Structure formats: structure tokens, C-alpha cells
Amino acid sequence: MAVCTRVLWNSNDLAVLTGRSMDWPESTEPLIVAFPAGRRRDGGALAGVDVVPRNPLRWTSRYATLVTSVYGLGGIDGFNEKGLAGHGLYLQSTDFGVRNPAEPGVHAGMWLQYLLDQAATVSEALALMDGLDVVMVGAHGHDATIHLALEDASGDSAIIEFDHGTPVVHHGRQYTLMTNDPTYDEQLALLAEQDFSRPSRDMPLPGNVNAVDRFQRAAYYSALLPEPRDERQAVAGVLAIMRNVSVPFGAPYGEFGVYNTEYRTVCDLTNRVYFFELTTSPNTIWVRFDDLTLPDGGDPLIVDPYDETMVGNVTGRMTPGLIGF
């Protein structure tokens, strides 16, 4: 449920990486959570309340996942053990349509988590959308009007939006950028008005914090990224773009007023490392998925990024804990 930016870098020879910024008018109460496979899920329940009372989707996760949660609703950002990643971003025009109880329903807060739990690739995730009914849910007075960006370790990508209950899908490696309103079709049309694939220092560049300007800046700076020498340089390159499209403190826009960037993440899908940067902390932290011990059906491992003692590799500081999804 967040106003954000997503940038996929799938054109270098080193690794497939994705950056995202989380912009929202208050803290989303994030936790970084590693879930083992074999976890039973209920896509119709939220905080003990049946928000999808008839024919809720229930499943047991096939894959382990590493995600950042939002308000305890579900994962809003992260990837799974197969290298499928996803990111939920705010889209005011989202319309999930009228609930169809003939189809299994999952509330919007668990939509991304379901796909990460069950799919290994973008194509598999899109296949899971057939016959699935996504149901609106709210938290802290805000509806989860989200659209999803997906990518996998091969560099494949997809954007999924809902218009009057119908999913609108853009599927292909070329869909590397996403922000918020207007719809993705309109964003692509606006981008076509200026060829940011050939950036120069004389090219005028939009500098505001609205979704259209951030989309165009992301395109401009993505085209400038040099071939990285190593993972450190690759991650730094993506983070540099995410910092450029972040919303400074106090910058007002949108229907809820001020949307400051709360955090930025980078998913390295080749090396399976998750980087997290809180804007109120000078420390970048990361979790190496392959160093986690996640026995099937076991307890999730959790780390609180607001813990100011966290710095660098925090894989070893993830501890078992309870979480409501």
C-alpha cells in the first residue's frame, strides 16, 4: 500500500538486481522476515477477522521466502528461494472489482506473499492469477490499492494491475520500471515522449517527487549505469538510483499529504541477498538467504530494521519469532 519506485537492472553481465523505495505518510512498521517452506496460509483472514468470508484461498507454501512486511498484513517486498521477487506499490486507480465467491479469494495484503510462496518464475506467478480473486483490504485508514511488479533470476519481468476486476498484465524483460499513478499504459506513453535511453547532460530532466517525474528519472539514471565490477558496485549502482527517486522529508504531494521515503531495498536475485536501507539510519543492512537455516514447517526468522544496533550483514541476528501471516 505504498507510493514507491521499482527499478529492475537485468541488462548487466553480473547479476539481476531490483531496487525499490517505500514512500508512505507514516511508518509501515516493517519487519524483515524469512519464512520456511511448508507454512500454512489463509488468504482470507486478517488479524483474526475473516475479510474474505466465502471461499478464501488457503495454501501451504512451496518455497521459503525473505520479505519485508507491511503493517503485519503480509510481505510487500522480497524474494523466494527460487529467485522470484515481487514488490507491491500504490496505485490509486486499482479496482479489484466485485467479489466473486466462485473463485478462491485472497486479500490484497497477502496477494504478493501467495505468489512468492507458490511460484518459481514470473511465468508461473502469472499462471497462478488464473481464477484468483484479489479482494480489497485496508489498514490504518488506507485501502491496499496496489499493483505488483515481479521479476525472476532470469531477468524476466511483469507488471500486474487491476482495472474493474480484470488483471492487466505487461510481461517481458523490457518492463524494468514502475512507480504509481497513472496506469502503466499511460506511464509508458509519457515515457515515449522523451528518449531517456540515450541520456546526456544537456537533456532536461523532471525533478519533482510525483510518480511521473520519478518514473522518468529512474529511466534516465538506469540508462547511465556502468557495467559493474562486482556485487558491491552493482548494489551501489541500484541504490544510487533509488536514492535519487526517493522523497525527501517534508515534501508534500498526493491525496494523503506528505509521503517521505521510509526505506529502500535491493534484491540481488543472482546471489540471493536482500539489502535494506532505512532513511532514518546511516546503516545499510543485508541478509544472505543461503546462510539462513529454514527447516520446512519451522518458525519464521525475524529482524527489526528499526533496531539501531543493526549494521552490515545481519543474517546471524535473525531470530525465531511470531508473526500473524
pLDDT value at position 259?
80
Please report which helix (H) or strand (E) contains residue 192, including its range: helix 184-192
Does residue 154 lie within any of the structural domains?
Answer: yes
Rounded CA separation 30/101 (Å): 31
pLDDT value, residue 53: 86
pLDDT score, position 1? 44
* 8 Å CB contact between 21 and 242: yes
CB 118 within 8 A of CB 128: yes
Q: Is 4 noted as a catalytic residue in this protein?
A: yes
Decide if 205 is inside a domain. Answer: yes
Whole-number pLDDT of residue 304: 97
List of the chain residues with pLDDT < 50: 1
DSSP for 46-88, please give it.
Answer: ETTEESS-SSB-EEE-SS-EEEEEETTTEEEEEEETTS-EEEE
- Of 1, 3, 4, 7, which is the active-site residue? 4
Residues in the chain: 325
Dist. CA 40–CA 113, nearest whole Å? 12
Is 325 within a domain? no
- Predicted confidence at residue 252, as pLDDT, reads 67
Which tens digit of pLDDT belongs to each residue from 36-72? 999 999 999 887 788 898 999 999 999 999 999 999 8
- Among 267, 246, 196, 232, which Cα is nearest to 9's? 267
pLDDT score of 256: 57
Does residue 305 lie within any of the structural domains?
Answer: yes
Structural domain containing residue 95: 3-320
Q: What is the pTM of this model?
A: 0.95
Number of domains into which the chain is organized: 1
CATH code of the domain covering residue 265:
3.60.60.10
